[in-house]
Every structure is written in C-alpha cells, then in structure tokens.
Chain A
Amino acid sequence: MSEMDTKVQGSAQPEVQEAAPSENKPKRDFTTGPLCLSGRGVTRVFGTGDKKKVAVDHVDFDFHEGEFVSIVGESGSGKTTLSKMLLGLLNVSEGEILFQGKPRDISTRAKKNEYWKGIQAIFQDPFASYNTFHKIDAVLLDCINMRGGKHLPYEKKVEMMTEACSFVNLKFAELTNKYPFELSGGQMQRLMIARIFLLKPKILLADEPTSMVDACSRATILDMLLSLRDEIGMTIIFITHDIGLAYYISDTVYIMEHGKFVEFGKADEVILNPKAPYTKRLISDVPKIHEPWDLDTVVEELA
C-alpha cells in the first residue's frame, strides 16, 4: 500500500493529493462498519417485448457507514439506473433494497420524505440540476427548511448558508440574489455540495459529479466529497466511468458491466489484481492523463 501511495503522489493532479485520507488522518477501515444500504437481487427492466432492456440485472451489494464506494462501468452499463433505484426515484422491478439493515419502505409520500432525509444526491450535469427560475438563496433555504430550520431567525439561516458556502470555497455574500446559471459549472457543482453539507444525509449518491466540470474544479470537488466523509461520516456512493479515479479515492469498488457487478472488493485489491476481463480492459483504457501513475505498469510491477 505504501508503495502505491508514493506512486499516487506523482499524479498529474497534485491538488487531489492533499485530500487523500491516507495523508494526514489515521487510517480507518470503513469497509466493515454497520450496514447502511444493501441490495439483494436488485433488477430493473425497461420496456416489454422486443424493446425489453434489462438495465440492472440482479445485483447484490452491501454499503457500510462511512464507506467511500465507487461504482465503475462504461456508459450504458446501468449505473444511473441503479442510482435512481437507490434514491427511490425509480421503481425496482425485482429484488430488494435494505436501508440500515431493514427492508426499505417508501410506499407513501411521508415515508419517502423520511427516506430522503437519509439519502441525497449530486447529479452529473450541474446545468440541469437547478431550477433556473429560483435564486441560489432559495435553493439553500429549502435545505434548511427541510432539516426543520423553517422557524429559525433569518440571521441564523444566513449564518448557516455562509458556513455551507465557505465549506465549498464559495462566498455566500457574492452569491446571494444570483441565479445558478450565473455561476460556472464547477461553482454550481460545489453549490450542490453546499446543499449536501446543509442537509447532512447519511448517504450521498454522486452520479459522475465531476464528468462535466473543468479539471481544476474536479479536484476540489473530490476533495470536498472526501472531507464530507471524513468530517460528517457520510457514506459516499461515487459513480464514475473512470477506474483510475475510483482507485484513487475509494475504499471499495464495484465494477459494473451490462447491468451486472462483475467484480467488487477493496479498491486496491480489485484494481491491482483484477480478475474479470472487463476490469482488466477498463484498467488498460485509463486515459493518458494518468500516465505518471499508469496503472498498467503498476499492475505489471506488482505481478
């Protein structure tokens, strides 16, 4: 492991490094904590007859409290479909999702709202994530209200919003009375994290949150996700098509191909010692930007 760390430090993304949990915090194993989200035979089928498409095919998983899980797969492999099911935005065709060890019940709106206090999301496209008719203040105030802060004095609310914004390196004073579309993609995505900071859910589902922002914001966003986990103990389910990134930041990875998990386990075990051919192919496809810590050579070296 220590050998890996030295390799990682040679990365082309130095900012990300500071966020690496291995740097300044004592290592904790998050992969054995209490269960917070599990799935048994979770399946989703779209359409019928000729158009039938099994997007997610009998997947099993166990996510633990405080765990940083990555779900890795190419586009079209069913990652977003799975995440929508985990969020309760899409019905499960077959199988069962367990929340904190008990079967999840989201049959009524009240139960759904209760569930959504525990699980929140950041989506891929920041430009599509905001209601462009609402100001930034409204977005953040909504989160405070949702956490039962509706009756707090306005000054207190401003204080909370300022804190949330400074957590993601934004200045609330500069954002107030602005519309989300007046920000850059990276700033918008950071504001999404500020929203999560206010909501403090148990689980955060981040569906490719960095794939549509600039490289610089990407590093900061990953940094913030890691500190959400480290400071609040949030479980982070990070969905990505970039196995290099997954290896770098996660405790556990699940490799998804055609709606199935072909391989899963601790990040370094899976990536340094891939068994499934699909995983091997993903590793060999890691783009040139990761050259300094080219995983292929790492794998060869270790072999």
Chain B
Amino acid sequence: MNNTIKQLSRSPKFMTGFCMFVAIILFTLIYPLVNPGNPLEMIGVGTFARPGTYVSLYDAVSAQRETFKLADADDKRLAASISDEDRVAMIELFGMAGMELDIEAGDTEALLEAWEANFDTLIQTKMTSAKRKYYTRINNKLLDLKAADTLVVYEQGEEDSKSKIVKTDYVRTGAVANVKTLPLGTDNFGRDVLKELVSAAKTSLMIGLIAGTVATLVGLTLGLLSGYLGGNVDEIIMFITTMFTVIPSFVLLILISYSLGQEQRGPSVVAIVIGLTSWTWTCRSVRSQVISLRNRDHVNLSKLSGHSLGRIIVTDILPYIASYVVMAFILQVSSGILAEAQLSLLGLGPKTTTTPTLGLMMNWAMLYSAHTNGSWWAYFPVILTIACISFSLNLMNTGMDQVFNPALRDG
C-alpha cells in the first residue's frame, strides 16, 4: 500500500493530474470565502456584460479629481468613439466614391484625416438616403467630439449647483465608491459568471463523485458476487447487466430523468441516476477479473484454511482488483460530470433555480445564443473547466495505469 503510493508519487502523469484536480477543488472551496453570496444573484439588468472592471459613473462625478494633460488622450478618445462597424463603413464609402485609400481600419489618425479632407466630395456619392443620413451622423459625431470641451452635470432640480467635467479630469478608481470587477462578465440573466462558474464546478464535481461512487459500489458488489459465486447468482446478475447494456445508458438516463420530472431532479438525484445507469462496465470487468482470481491457488489455499466467504473476498480478491477499481472510479467520476453536462444541455439536468451546474451554464448560454452574439465568456470558461477536470482525472488514470501495468510504462 505504502509502496503503491510511493510509486504513484513518482509518476509525473499521475502527479500532474492529481495536483490539477486538487487545485480545482481548492479553488472551488476558497473562492466563495473571498467572494461570498448567492451565485445566482442577478446583479446586472442587461445581459452579457463584457468581462472587465466596472466603475460607477454616478460616483465618479463626485469623486476627487486630478488634472492630467496626457498627449495621446484626445486620439485615444476619438479612436474609442468610432466603432469598428463605422470604420468599415467609412472605408467602404471611399471605395464607393472611387477613391483609392491605403489605410488600415485601425489607423484612426490617417482615417480621420482622409475623412475630414474628403467628406464634402464623399457625401455627394450616389447612395440611398438612409446611407447618406448614416454617414452624416458619423460626421456630426466626429465634429462634436472635436468641438466639445466641457460636460456639465447637475442634479435634477438643482440646476445652479453644476459640476463641470473637462477632458483633462481624472479620478482614481480607488476614489470611486463603487467599482465592480467581473473577471468573466455577466451571463444572460446578468449574473456574475465567475461566481456562478465556481459554484457550478463544485456542484458538478459533487455530482461526479456521487455518480462515480454509486456506479463503482454497485458495479463492484455485483461483479464480485457474480464472479465469485458463479452459478445462478451469476446468471441473474449477468441478465440484469446485459439488459442495462443493450439499452444505451445515455438513452436510459434521458428516459429516467424525463420521467422524474423537473421538480424531483435535485443535483444529488441526478447524480444517483447517472451512477445507476453506468455501473455495468465496472460490473463486467470486475466479474471477469474475479473469475480469473477465484481459481488462483491462493484462494484455494485460503478456502482450505477455513476462511469465510466474506474474508476471502475482502482479503484474497479485493486487494488484487483494488487498483483497478480505483481507476474505474476515477473514470466514472469524469464520465459522470460529462453525463450531467450532456443531460443539462438537453434540458434534463438538475432543477434550474437553486444551484448552477456546469451543464446548466452551458444550457443557459446556448438558450440565450451566447455563441452567436459573441459572448464567449458565458460558455468558453465552462467548456475549459469541464475539459480541465476531465483532463486531470484522465491524467491520473493514465498515470495509475502505467504504475500498475508496467508493460505500458514508457522508457
């Protein structure tokens, strides 16, 4: 036992996988301490706010100001106020007017210079009146930006106590009372994606662990009994196993989840259902290993020594398949997490209102077309998390396989 652990700790694959997995678990445990609160709280009114740090505009106005004269401030302001779409449209107009323009859309200075010099001719180009209006609007906006110098802010009803804001006014983020950093933005309901993701990863890991434990326990028990006892017990168990095998387990999973109904499906119920539909593989392989072990002479000798059935199974059979069972368990955990994700994508996952899971987050992102409107932060981190968990578990598994089957060891 100690020896096995020593060997495992020397396997780089196992250790990498193990450390990754532990890091993920630690993160899901520690992050809620740093950032407590309901992970499903809708903090944003709009949908899909981009990742970043948000500063309260209201507080910024009254915050302590400093004046900075930065050389490139105007250029940056201009560059930020023309959207990518506008730039493309502007360059298009040069094309329509028959003017060859060797300017990149990103080169704001050159673009604006050319635009200013040629606008009067450009606007004469033949185009629909809607387009003409659009280009005039762009031009007016640019002119305004150049001309405007001071913003005036006052509270409603108190027009005389004005607050003037000039272009060189700056406030320190720390001086603004309300600043919110959303490293992964918000989702379709305006919820903090990172907070949700951490909570979802925790739930999904728990689902995977429960599903893996159920599948391993059921598979191991049935496999041991079937393999060791043989005869009628074996036939009955193998009949049940075959029944479960002919119906693809995912179809079975869908049917059971569907018939349970949304209300009954808490995360642990879903986990148990996943476990109960995925034990057949463990059962079959444990059975075949036990069959080859039960005829080994050390088992015969143990019988001759008068040991009971339970003792023989626990001391003479289990230790020989333990490493194998642990490996099967790890794979079951990984496939349990994936099964939950698949189920939730189909809308058959756990109840949607109480806890997020990785699958539910994918489901929400898909339902609200995060993938088509470019809100990558709503689904990509989820995929990455699922991938990292699976990868770490599979790495552990491969590492163990190499330790236990020396034939697979490379070099």
**Proximity string of chain B (275-310) to chain A, C-beta cutoff 8 Å, 1 when within and 0 when not:** 000000000000000000000111011111110100
- Among B301, B315, B320, chain A packs the most CB atoms within 10 A around the CB of B301
- B306:A113 contact, CB within 8 angstroms: yes
Contacts of A89 in B (CB 8 A): 300, 303-304
- A116:B298 contact, CB within 8 angstroms: no
- Among A109, A121, A124, A131, chain B packs the most CB atoms within 10 A around the CB of A131
B46 within 8 Å of A by Cβ?
no
Q: Which of B300, B306, B316, B320 contacts A121 (CB 8 A)?
A: B300
- Please, which residue of chain A has its CB at the minimum distance from the CB of B308? A109
Per the CB 8 Å criterion, the residue count for chain B at the interface is 15
A59 within 8 Å of B by Cβ?
no
In the bound complex, CA of A123 to CA of B295 (Å): 12
- A131:B298 contact, CB within 8 angstroms: yes
- A131:B316 contact, CB within 8 angstroms: yes
Query: For chain B, what secondary structure do more than half of its interface residues adopt (helix, strand, loop), or is it mixed?
Result: helix
Contact A146/B306 with A123-B301, A131-B315 known, Cβ cut-off 8 Å: yes
In the bound complex, CA of A133 to CA of B298 (Å): 11
Min CB gap B155→A, angstroms? 80
B248 within 8 Å of A by Cβ?
no
Q: Which of B300, B306, B319 contacts A123 (CB 8 A)?
A: B300
- B298:A130 contact, CB within 8 angstroms: yes
- Please, which residue of chain B has its CB at the minimum distance from the CB of A116? B304
In the bound complex, CA of A112 to CA of B306 (Å): 8
Query: For chain A, what secondary structure do more than half of its interface residues adopt (helix, strand, loop), or is it mixed?
Result: mixed
- B304:A129 contact, CB within 8 angstroms: no
A237 within 8 Å of B by Cβ?
no
Q: Which of B306, B315, B316 contacts A116 (CB 8 A)?
A: B306
Per the CB 8 Å criterion, the residue count for chain A at the interface is 22
Contacts of A113 in B (CB 8 A): 306
Contacts of A132 in B (CB 8 A): 298
Contacts of B300 in A (CB 8 A): 84, 87, 89, 121, 123
- B305:A116 contact, CB within 8 angstroms: yes
Within 38-93 of A, Cβ neighbours of B (below 8 Å) are at: 84, 87, 89
- Please, which residue of chain B has its CB at the minimum distance from the CB of A119? B304
Can you offer 9 A-B residue contacts whose CB atoms are under 8 A?
A: A84-B300, A116-B304, A121-B304, A123-B301, A124-B297, A131-B302, A132-B298, A133-B320, A134-B315
List chain B positions with a Cβ less than 8 A from chain A: 296-298, 300-306, 308, 315-316, 319-320
Known: A123-B297, A143-B305. 16 other contacts (CB 8 A): A109-B308, A113-B306, A116-B304, A116-B306, A121-B300, A121-B301, A121-B304, A128-B297, A128-B298, A129-B301, A131-B298, A131-B315, A131-B319, A133-B315, A133-B319, A142-B305
